[in-house]
Structure 1
Amino acid sequence: MKKTFTMLALMLPMLAFAQWRVGVNGGADLNHFIIDKQYQNDYRFNDRWGVTMGIMGQYDVTDWAGVRVELDWTQKNYRQDRRNLKICDYQYVNNYLQLPVMGTFSFGGQQVRGFVNLGVYGGYWLNSRRKGFDSSNLNGRTYEFTEKVDFYDNRDQRWDFGFVGGGGVEYRFARHWAAQVELRYYYSTVSTVKVLDVVKDYRYHSTLALQAGVWYCF
């Protein structure tokens, strides 16, 4: 019984402070495509910018710790071309739906505070498009294209999981309103293609995002 009362006594300050908040965010991200090129030594894979936006929910247990959950639409784009020959250029746009779950830790004053987020995320590859130009093997002529990329069950891995972390600054500009700026990093642990025993064709996304958000604090 004494242990129960002790635990309740320790939890009371947390329960007294506990606070919900909801918000929206948006920004830009730079995606780096990690690939084992193997025999494709003359191909080059370049980073590309994209867009990220979403809705946020957070439960603050104390004035310095809480749990944040988001539902984000994030682009993980890249560009593929030939290293020395200007005969092809593929610019990919890949749209993902992501669910980051993070512990959030803050520090500083009442109006301006720094914060750090650490956690994991799950995602799903919604669709993919590409544009650019290529050369025909038949006549050597260059043609341009803009097309949808089809998914194949035996090749493409549409589920994505990984680690996420970031840090930023929050400004409390009104009693129930706050604004944040955050630099965030996503590291995927799942290859975008299903790896076969014969060909170890691993491909991963590594994404850095700069985003801003607005919170309503209850």
Structure 2
Amino acid sequence: MKKQSIIALLSFLCLSAGIPVHAQLQDPRHNLAIGINGGVNLSSVSFEPSIKEKTFLTPSFGVTIRYISERYLKMFCGIQAEINYSQRGWKENIDDGTGDTYQRSMNYVEVPLMAHLAFGKDKGYGARFVLNLGPQIGYLLGESEKKSEAWHPNERPSGVIWQYGKMAESKFDYGIVGGVGIEARTGIGNFLLEARYYFGLSDFYHSTKKDPFSRSAHSYIAGRLTYLFDLKK
């Protein structure tokens, strides 16, 4: 119930930011922009029982659409949506002396729907501080394992080895995503450099009492560069 409440609250926030409310409008805008984005994820998975992990860099890219509906006081309010290809997963830190290595790559199409808030330069060229926040859903397209030729899973002191060879049992993913960044508005378009964090609320393994993992949720820190072209100012 708590997860559903969080998603409902963030969805309401997005809609409130993107749909003009007459009583609140100070300065209506109709700025529509589309573009592309790309970057990298520092991916990890929150397991319970826990698994020691290393930094795992994975790619992400996609398309972005943004609509700014109003300027309220000194804040620009709108909504931003994306369709992205995003690789996630985890890389294990195996320190049992065997020399084993293991990583899992999981490829998702993800759709964030975020409230977009910005502060800074109004018209013309200049910079804005940007905040994006909202729910995100994803769907697993495929996954692959990569491990060392020499393989000794029974030597793990933690005894946590159920993940090896065990493919995802749920392809649907959802969670919360938020980001902060700087947008440069230029004569050839708008460039947004952003840092993001995604917190997964769903598990890709079953998590009943009879299952080995009670939690298996994605999270990542991401760096994004987005180029947007104004269709309507």
Q: Equivalences for 1:82-101 in 2 at 5 Å?
A: 82-101=94-113
* Alpha-carbon spacing, 1:117–1:12, altered in 2? closer, same or farther (3 Å): closer
Aligned pairs, number: 192
SS at match of 2:130: strand
**Paired residue type of 2:142:** N
Match of 2:77 in 1: 65
Would the aligned equivalents of 2:32 and 2:67 in 1 still touch at CA under 8 Å? yes
Q: Which range moved further: 128-137 or 63-72?
A: 128-137
C-alpha RMSD of the superposition:
2.4
Q: 2:60 aligns with which of 52, 58, 78?
A: 52
Q: Deviations over 1:137-186 (max 9, x none)?
A: 7xxxxxxxxxxx784xxx61110000010010001111x61111000111
Report whether the alignment pairs 1:133 with 2:148. Answer: yes
**Paired residue type of 2:103:** Q
Would the aligned equivalents of 1:33 and 1:46 in 2 still touch at CA under 8 Å? no
Q: Which range moved further: 163-172 or 78-87?
A: 78-87
Alpha-carbon shift at residue 108 of structure 1 (Å) = 1.1
* Alpha-carbon spacing, 1:213–1:8, altered in 2? closer, same or farther (3 Å): closer
Match of 1:173 in 2: 186
Q: Equivalences for 1:104-183 in 2 at 5 Å?
A: 104-110=116-122, 111-135=126-150, 151=167, 156-174=169-187, 177-183=189-195
Which ranges of structure 2 fall in alignment gaps of 5 or more residues? 1-20, 153-164
SS at match of 2:207: coil
Alpha-carbon shift at residue 187 of structure 1 (Å) = 0.5
Would the aligned equivalents of 2:44 and 2:91 in 1 still touch at CA under 8 Å? no
> CA–CA distance in 1 between the matches of 2:147 and 2:94?
13
Match of 1:187 in 2: 199
Report whether the alignment pairs 1:102 with 2:110. Answer: no
Alpha-carbon shift at residue 45 of structure 1 (Å) = 2.6
Q: 2:43 aligns with which of 31, 39, 61?
A: 31
Q: TM-score of the superposition, structure 2-length normalised? A: 0.75
Alpha-carbon shift at residue 13 of structure 1 (Å) = 4.1
Which ranges of structure 1 fall in alignment gaps of 5 or more residues? 1-6, 138-148
Alpha-carbon shift at residue 189 of structure 1 (Å) = 0.3
Alpha-carbon shift at residue 102 of structure 1 (Å) = 0.3
* Alpha-carbon spacing, 1:8–1:185, altered in 2? closer, same or farther (3 Å): closer
Q: TM-score of the superposition, structure 1-length normalised? A: 0.79
> CA–CA distance in 2 between the matches of 1:200 and 1:123?
24
Identity over aligned pairs, percent:
22
- Structure 1 runs of 4+ with >3 Å offset: 7-13, 134-137
Q: Which range moved further: 180-189 or 85-94?
A: 85-94
> CA–CA distance in 1 between the matches of 2:172 and 2:38?
23
